[in-house]
Structure 1
Amino acid sequence: MSDIDREILRVLPDAATQNTWLSTPDLYRRLMTAVQDMPSLKTIHRHLARLEKDGLVEMAQQGVAWLWRKKAGANGMAAKAGAMMNFDEALALQTLKRFSSRQIPELVAESLSPLFEIAETRLRKTHNEWERKYSRWASKVAVESGGFALHYPTIDREQFGEVSRALFEERQLEIVYRPRHDTDNDRAKVVLPFGLVEVGGLVYLVAGTQGKANPTMYRLDRLSRARALLESFTYPALFSLDAYVRQQRNFDFMVENEVLLELRFVDSAGDHLLETPMSRDQKCTRNGDELFVQGTVMLSQRLRWWLRSFGPNVEVLGPASLRAELAEEAAALARIYGG
């Protein structure tokens, strides 16, 4: 299969998930935004005819217009999987579908939808008690977030496709971004996509800008438009998304500096830290019902939110500046609730 065939299959609507068709001219216009050295319209039509002959594309005629869409399962795996998928594989796929609750896995899993359907059918066709145990397994497992459940804004699938394509192919990306303070913005800008990060249900694009030293974070749900450009860029050799997220702590919100955090917990509030430490150098001691914990952490807004979640069951012993800050907050709360 040629590169242009792969591009045609990428752009065409999938009969498995969409009830739409594309005319040859419409398909050609979409390909022009993504393919360098674009062949002629007649050449594209010849490619479509060959793909239809190979059973990968469906064709319909509406008046004098030729309409096209990708055949369900034409991506390859699904076409081969129906007869060969065993119960272990079907169960694995159904579990993946059910528990991929984060937005990025959910968005990228659309390409696997024919496989999910085959897996669901496979699990329904049971012939004995052993096979029926597979079909009941998914109803015996649940996953629940430990935080307060919020309804996060959804991300436009087409825009996500443009962003992820530009990121994968290391192309420049044109976006129109509407932050909270400028929700009517219509000015487009060109950015260099470095990575995608999901934090607490929100998905961010980490992107560079020509002439700026540091990357910028853009929330994907605030993009009103995204378009992968033909122009490529050189991905910075010294940039590490892992370091940006985990070492520089850029998603901890208003990161300040490392501090030695000293805490006193009561009523078993901090007992989970005995199994899930807050730092690599964490030390814990007990004194009756009190648990004393200390460790080196990054001072940030996220750390403050975490400490506040324990209410009166935690006392910050150090650093002194953080203790004074939270004491002032507690006094303000006492004034509010004290009437």
Structure 2
Amino acid sequence: MAHQFDSQLDVSILSVLLDDGGPRRWMSTQDVARGLAALEVAEPPAEVLQQRLVLLVADGSAECRAEGRGLMWRRAECAGKVLANADTWLSDEEALALQVLKRFAGRQITSVMATLLRPLFDAAESKLRRRGREGCAGRIAWHRKLSVVERSSPLVPPRLRETVLLPVLTAVFEERNLEVVYRPRFEPERKRVLMPLGVVEKAGMVYLVGLEDEDPAPQCLRLDRVHAAHALKERFIYPDHFSLADYVEEAAEFGLHADGNIKLAVRFAKGCGDIVRDAPISPDQTEEIGPDGSLVVRCTVEMADWLVRWLRSFGPQAEVLEPVSLRRALAHEVKTMARAYCRS
């Protein structure tokens, strides 16, 4: 992480300064206090808040200036110089690349981390706008020429507060113990202290993986159910035997667990299997076009939940021929759905 946080209050203050609504707006101590209140952080005594702000200035994380009889604060970024001198170090191609990166860093984890690059994004936007005024309008219209389609679910994922995600990421990267207030849906709220091993985002939902107490099995917590998080000073030794990638593949929460390879055969209706001809299911895939224009695909693939969900998405346009066990399972699902929809 770019900053070393010594208290939850430091994290919250930086969150206010990083989200102040303007590229270089100075904030009074009272403005910072109001920002903390908006984040539902208990307002500290004025002298404590002032002390933490001074320490952030000493750490290089914030800047300070005197105004009248009070002090004003802002995040420590070189946005002013960056914006003023962008033409001397930033090419048109680099500016375009930065703006594209900003637009598509839309996942909750990356969007928080990208906040630290805000001066570069501001400089890129400024340069592209100047180029547009100079008659080079092609690049300024970049946002109308690029699109990425990822959403596969109608659900709107819960938004995470930076006052939760920032201390969690700090604890993960700096290998500190993490204290959280967790609110399960059907259980009472309670404090938990974990050794955070990683953060996983799936379909907009963000999960914290960590070890708790003497339990050797990793715990998986939904971050939107974390009401408060505090990166503690105590550090832990990251276990050598743990692999986040392996955990994600095996954990039920992520639906990637595989039960070995199967020989899959699927018949796609005419025109519905073109996608697997351009993007094969596996390297050993073979294809056969039937007299009616249907496509039969045979391949070796891992038997996993994602495969079943993907096959279901084709509805009646895809028929599983092999293995027989998968064919029967899908047939049972179809019959059950038919009974549900045909009830009078």
Same fold (TM over 0.5): yes
The residue type paired with residue 26 of structure 1 is L
- For residue 279 of structure 1, the aligned residue among 279, 282, 302 is 282
Distance, in Å, in 1 between the alignment partners of 2:6 and 2:214 is 35
SS of the residue corresponding to residue 196 of structure 2 reads strand
TM-score calculated relative to the size of structure 2 = 0.77
- For residue 262 of structure 1, the aligned residue among 265, 272, 280 is 265
Counterpart of 1:37 in structure 2 is none
Deviations 1:234-279 (A, max 9, x none): 1111222233335x47554283612413322213323212232333
Deviations 1:134-193 (A, max 9, x none): 2122322222236244311101111100000001100111112223333xx321111111
The residue type paired with residue 334 of structure 2 is A
2:266 is equivalent to residue 243 of structure 1: no
Deviations 1:101-125 (A, max 9, x none): 2222222222222322222222111
Residue 312 to residue 215, structure 1, CA distance change in 2 (3 Å): same
The residue type paired with residue 21 of structure 1 is V
SS of the residue corresponding to residue 228 of structure 2 reads strand
2:81 is equivalent to residue 58 of structure 1: no
Distance, in Å, in 2 between the alignment partners of 1:194 and 1:4 is 18
The runs of 5 or more residues in structure 2 that have no matched partner are: 34-45
2:124 is equivalent to residue 124 of structure 1: no
Counterpart of 1:33 in structure 2 is none
State whether residues 79 and 122 of structure 2, in contact with CA within 8 Å, keep that contact through their aligned partners in structure 1.
Answer: no
Distance, in Å, in 1 between the alignment partners of 2:283 and 2:252 is 19
The residue type paired with residue 230 of structure 2 is R
The residue type paired with residue 32 of structure 2 is W
2:205 is equivalent to residue 202 of structure 1: yes
How far 1:76 moved relative to its partner? 9.8
Counterpart of 1:330 in structure 2 is 334
Deviations 1:285-321 (A, max 9, x none): 3333222223343434333222211111111223323
Distance, in Å, in 1 between the alignment partners of 2:226 and 2:97 is 34
2:301 is equivalent to residue 290 of structure 1: no
> Matched residues, percent identical?
35
Deviations 1:190-248 (A, max 9, x none): 111112222112122222224233322222212112111111111111222233335x4
- For residue 26 of structure 1, the aligned residue among 38, 44, 49 is 49
Counterpart of 2:320 in structure 1 is 316
2:189 is equivalent to residue 186 of structure 1: yes
TM-score calculated relative to the size of structure 1 = 0.78
Aligned length in residues: 314
- For residue 108 of structure 1, the aligned residue among 113, 119, 132 is 113
State whether residues 99 and 124 of structure 2, in contact with CA within 8 Å, keep that contact through their aligned partners in structure 1.
Answer: yes
Distance, in Å, in 1 between the alignment partners of 2:157 and 2:274 is 30
Counterpart of 2:98 in structure 1 is 93
Counterpart of 2:180 in structure 1 is 175
Counterpart of 1:141 in structure 2 is 146
Residue 298 to residue 208, structure 1, CA distance change in 2 (3 Å): farther
State whether residues 208 and 215 of structure 1, in contact with CA within 8 Å, keep that contact through their aligned partners in structure 2.
Answer: yes
The runs of 5 or more residues in structure 1 that have no matched partner are: 31-43
Larger mean Cα displacement after TM superposition, 217-226 or 78-87: 78-87
SS of the residue corresponding to residue 212 of structure 1 reads coil
